Chains A and B, each alone.
Chain A
C-alpha cells in the first residue's frame, strides 16, 4: 500500500524554539497533503490542507503565522511550528491521498512534540 513517512518521530525542545516536521509520500505523488494534531484522549483535528505550489488552507482557529506549511514538491510537505510553547505539545500527523483528495488517505507515523 501507499507509504507516507514523517521526520522526526520525536522532538523535545525548549520554549521559543521553532520545530520543522517533514511529511513525505514515498511511492506516489501528492498535490494535496493534510496536517492534523491530536491531543491525548482526543481525536485528530485537521489543522490545514497543504497544496503543492500554492498557499495552504488553514482550518478555523489555526494560526497560519504560527504553523507554517510549505508544499515545495509533489512528495514533500513541511510543517514548522514557530516559537513553540508548552501548549503546542501534541502528536502531529500528516496524511496524503494517493488517488486524489476525495479518496482514501494514508497517514504518516506521526511526530510527538514536547515543548518544555
Chain B
C-alpha cells in the first residue's frame, strides 16, 4: 500500500462545476499536510496547507480528518485555469522530516 493515495482521476468537469479530491495517508507519524498543484512539465507550487479545523482560500476548501487519516480538497466554480494535477503531500516525521507525495489527480476543466 502506498503511503499517500489519491483518487485516480482524471477528472473532466465543465467550467463552473464543483469538484472534490480525496487523499488518504497511512503513516501515523504524519505531521502536516498540503495540497500542491503541478502544471505540465513544471515544478509543484503550493496551493494551500491543510489545518485540522479545515481551511478555505477563495474557491478552495481543504479538510483534514486525522482519525480517518483523510484529506480533501474542494474546488468551487471551476475555472479553465484550474486545469492541472493536484498533489496531496504529507510531511512525515521520522528521524527527520520529509515530504511524501501522492500520485496526483489530474483535473481538466472544459469550456
Known interface pairs A101-B97, A102-B31; 17 further A-B residue pairs with C-beta atoms within 8 A, sorted by A's residue number: A32-B96, A36-B101, A42-B103, A43-B104, A44-B44, A46-B98, A46-B101, A57-B95, A93-B43, A93-B44, A102-B97, A106-B46, A107-B44, A108-B43, A109-B43, A110-B42, A112-B41
Interface residue from A44, A49, A103, A109 paired with B101 (Cβ < 8 Å): A44
Which residues 42-89 in B have Cβ within 8 Å of A in the complex? 42-46, 49, 87
A34 located at the interface, meaning its Cβ lies under 8 Å from any Cβ of chain B in the complex: yes
In the complex, which of the residues B45, B96, B98, B104 contacts A107, with contact meaning CB atoms closer than 8 Å? B45
Q: How many inter-chain residue pairs (CB < 8 Å) link A and B?
A: 50
A77 within 8 A of B: no
Number of interface residues of A (CB under 8 A): 25
Number of interface residues of B (CB under 8 A): 23
Tell me the smallest distance from the CB of B52 to a CB of chain A, in Å.
15
Q: Which residue of A lies closest to B94 (CB)?
A: A57
Residues of A within 8 A of B45 (CB): 107
The answer, among A43, A93, A95, A103, for a CB contact under 8 Å with B32, is A103
- Option from A97, A104, A106 in Cβ contact (under 8 Å) with B49: A104
**B24 → A minimal CB distance (Å):** 15
* 7 CB-based A-B contacts, threshold 8 Å: A42-B103, A43-B87, A43-B103, A44-B44, A104-B46, A107-B45, A110-B43
Contacts of B43 in A (CB 8 A): 93, 107-110
Task: Assess the B87–A105 pair: CB atoms within 8 A.
Answer: no
In the complex, what distance in Å separates the CA atom of A101 from the CA atom of B42? 22
Chain A residue at minimum C-beta to C-beta distance from B31:
A102
Q: Among the listed A43, A44, A49, A108, which residue makes an inter-chain contact with B96, where contact means beta carbons less than 8 Å apart?
A: A49
